[in-house]
């Protein structure tokens, strides 16, 4: 009897796992089309009907996976900001040489922006279309990014590695410089993503007077 219960429980767990994976796959397909349409047509000009038609599904299918069009945009922008915040994964801003840490973070950040340049463009253009309450998580992640960079710079100033007067303002400038890459990066340009990351880190270290 116990074996039958265990088998039944295992089968139910496997079924739920497959169902969840299928649900996530469908959501990802919706997000992929929505991202493309929002980027090329604009958020306001894109309708749920257009997304559904492109996918060959009905509007109820879309609404089963997302509350509304705004919810789709929110997921895309949160994912973009989360990717940028992930550059701090495995990095302890309170330990290690500030110059090396800042260099590594800048290079990671540059590569993250290049990777997500379409959704990064949407972030700067379409975030205004979200209500204040929906923006709170996104803005918190942005504050965390600015705060992490500011702390590295503060440590660099304290140890005599950097020569700047306002760590908070400098961190915002650094994040802005890197985020703006989406406006000029070309996949067929003369520099590879790694080359751009290396040069940007060099420029930013010069900006903070690293030595």
Question: CATH number, domain at 87?
Answer: 1.10.357.10
Report the C-alpha gap between 76 and 95 in whole angstroms. 33
Segments forming the whole domain that contains residue 85: 73-207
32 and 59 inside one domain? yes
45 and 133 inside one domain? no
- Within the chain, how many helices (H) and strands (E) appear? 9, 0
55 and 97 inside one domain? no
10 and 58 inside one domain? yes
Number of domains in the chain: 2
pLDDT of residue 14: 54
What sign results for the dihedral spanned by CA atoms 76, 82, 86, 87?
positive
Q: Which of 43, 66, 89 lies at the terminal end of a domain, its last residue?
A: 66
Report the C-alpha gap between 12 and 184 in whole angstroms. 50
pLDDT of residue 3: 58
52 and 136 inside one domain? no
- Going residue by residue through the chain, which has 211 residues, state the pLDDT in tens, using 9 for 90 and above: 555 555 555 545 555 778 889 999 999 999 999 999 999 999 999 999 999 999 999 999 999 999 999 999 999 999 999 999 999 999 998 998 999 999 999 999 999 999 999 999 999 899 888 888 888 999 999 999 999 999 999 999 999 999 999 999 999 999 999 999 999 999 999 999 999 999 999 999 999 999 8
């Amino acid at each position: 009897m116990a074996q039958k219960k265990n088998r039944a429980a295992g089968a139910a767990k496997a079924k739920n796992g497959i169902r969840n994976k299928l649900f996530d796959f469908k959501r990802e397909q919706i997000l992929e089309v929505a991202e493309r349409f929002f980027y090329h047509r604009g958020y306001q000009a894109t309708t749920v009907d257009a997304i559904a038609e492109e996918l060959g599904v009905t509007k109820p299918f879309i609404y089963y996976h997302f509350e509304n069009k705004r919810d789709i945009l929110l997921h895309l922008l949160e994912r973009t900001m989360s990717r940028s915040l992930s550059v701090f994964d495995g990095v302890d801003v309170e330990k290690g040489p500030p110059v090396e840490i800042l260099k590594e973070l800048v290079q990671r950040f540059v590569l993250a922006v290049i990777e997500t340049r379409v959704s990064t463009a949407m972030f700067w253009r379409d975030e205004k279309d979200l209500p204040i309450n929906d923006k709170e998580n996104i803005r918190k992640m942005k504050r965390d990014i600015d705060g992490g960079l500011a702390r590295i710079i503060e440590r660099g100033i304290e140890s005599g590695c950097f020569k700047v007067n306002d760590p908070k303002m400098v961190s915002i400038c650094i994040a802005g410089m890197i985020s703006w890459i989406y406006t000029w990066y070309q996949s067929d340009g003369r520099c590879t993503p790694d080359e751009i990351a290396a040069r940007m880190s060099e420029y930013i270290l010069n900006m903070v007077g690293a030595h």
